[in-house]
Amino acid sequence: MGFFSGETVTLPSYENALKLAGALVSSAVVLRTVSDTLVPDSVTDYLRTRIRKISTCLSSQATVVIEEFDELNPNQIFEAANVYLGSRLSTSTQRTKVNKPAKEKEFTVTVDMNQPLVDSYENVKLEWVLVSSPIKSSVSGRKRENGAGSRSELRYFELSFHKKFKAMVMSSYLPYILQQGKDIREEKKAMKLHTVDYNGTDYWGSITFDHPASFDTMAMDQEMKKTLIDDLDKFIAMKDFYRSVGKAWKRGYLLYGPPGTGKSSLVAAMANYLKFDVYDLDLKEVQCNSDLRRLLIGTSNRSILVIEDIDNSFETGEDDKVTLSGLLNFIDGLWSSCGDERILVMTTNHKDRIDPVLLRPGRMDVHLHMSYCSFSGFKTLASNYLKLEEHYLFGKIEELLKKIQATPAEIAGELMKSQDAEVSLQGLINFLINKTTAS
């Protein structure tokens, strides 16, 4: 009997039901095939976008649109989201985009168009979709020459979530995305060594910085090493403090000591630890103060500016060369206010030859004496070169190093002469004894 009437309803047989279901599936496949074959991708994408918008209007979801460009300027949130979402792709994602930027060490993976990706933040579900729409031909000629105007389509992310979490998304989640994008880019960035190049467009030429030095391999006093690392960590964490007191986010280090004590290697270790680019500035190559200004403005955030042998960097009696007063003006003024996370390192073999005005806090905040090799420094080198932690000849070497001044470079040179630990250490002992005799 019918459920809502007294009429009799005849149900199809089991076999007929299967045939009907098969016919419906076949029809759906045919329609899908016809759609994929005859309907252009642009129409399909348009329909998907319209359906998504209609669905959003009828639901309790809110959507934030994040366009790739704001007029001619790149949108930092879009860039950060693109990087962040690329790191969140799963094996179930059907399509991904891969490229290898020239300044990065690894492949960059990003989400492709119309691929929904679900993220979770503070137990809130958030869905991202990268979509696009064609740019109308009425865009002005100037805009079409660069930036957003050079594209035929406008890309943007649609970020969807429950409406009640909108305040959290705006105040917490999007700032989180910005920071995550920055951290991921910094982790993948290939560091650069920049040197003065007057043939270039910005006076700087660069090559990939691939120096192997690290704090673990530095043969320096362990307490000094710890103090330096702590100071660098504190500097990086104090962005808000520097801004609150109205000071530029920069710090200066003076490395002084005899040749061969590892000043240049320490700069490389600092750069590798912080993942900062290095700008190697030879003031004798700079033609005048105005060129120095242009060079300093051309340095990037998160970088170390190195001026080696600062005591020999100024030529007296030459009006067209860089002067000490010119350098001080730029360190204290224009350059220091042009960016964030800047470190200035000066090196010298003779600290007593440097004008005291250059050494005051705010210019050179930390002074590090790079001295001759101690026994603890030797043990670091023995571990690096010979993979030794202990050896019966260590006692003799410790005794000699208490009486003999040898630089880490000299010790390393001896340890490199043989991979046989016995031969290498005995050769070092002979070298130190000969130094005693010669002195």
The pLDDT of 198-212, averaged and rounded, is 82
Pairing between strand 61-67 and 204-208? unpaired
User: 192-369: what fold?
Assistant: Rossmann fold (3.40.50)
pLDDT at 108: 72
Q: Domain boundaries in the chain?
A: 49-188, 192-369, 375-438
Average pLDDT over residues 293-316: 87
As a whole number, mean pLDDT of residues 341-351 equals: 94
Residue-wise pLDDT tens digits, 96-139: 777 776 656 667 777 888 888 999 999 999 999 999 888 765 54
At 53 the pLDDT is 67
Q: In this predicted model, what pLDDT tens digit does every residue of 406-421 receive, in sequence order? A: 999 999 999 999 999 9
- pTM of the shown model: 0.68
Q: What is the dihedral of CA 31, 36, 37, 42, to 10 degrees?
A: 130
**pLDDT band at residue 276 under the 50/70/90 scheme:** very high
pLDDT at 70: 83
Distance from chain centroid for Cα 253: 22
Mean pLDDT across 343-359:
93
Q: Is 230 helix (H, G, I), strand (E, B) or coil?
A: helix
From 123-127, 262-266, 281-285, 389-393, the region with the lowest mean pLDDT: 281-285
Band of residue 172 on the pLDDT scale cut at 50, 70, 90? very high
Lowest mean pLDDT among 34-43, 139-148, 378-387, 392-401: 139-148
Torsion of Cα atoms, 418 then 423 then 426 then 430, to 10°: -60
- Percent share of the chain, pLDDT over 70: 77
Examine the pLDDT at 228 and tell me if it is beyond 70. yes
C-alpha–C-alpha distance, residues 70 and 66, integer Å: 10
CA 305 to chain centre: 17
How far is 218 from 225, CA to CA, in rounded Å? 8
pLDDT value at residue 314:
78
- When pLDDT is averaged across residues 371-396 and rounded to a whole number, the result is 95
What integer pLDDT is reported at residue 330 of this predicted model? 80
Of 297, 284, 304, nearest in space to 339 by CA: 297
Instruction: List the Cα angle 252/256/260 in 5-degree steps.
Output: 130
Of 248-257, 323-332, 390-399, the range with the lowest mean pLDDT is 323-332
Average pLDDT taken over every residue of the chain: 83
Residue 67's pLDDT is what?
Answer: 92
Torsion angles phi and psi, residue 331, rounded to 5:
-65, -40
The pLDDT assigned to 188 comes to 77
Tell me the pairing of strands 192-196 and 153-162. Answer: unpaired
Over residues 207-220, the pLDDT tens digits come to 888 899 999 999 99
Q: Which tokens belong to 389? A: 């932690």
307: its two tokens: 């001026």
In the predicted model, is pLDDT for residue 278 greater than 50? yes
Asked if pLDDT for residue 7 goes beyond 50, the answer is: no
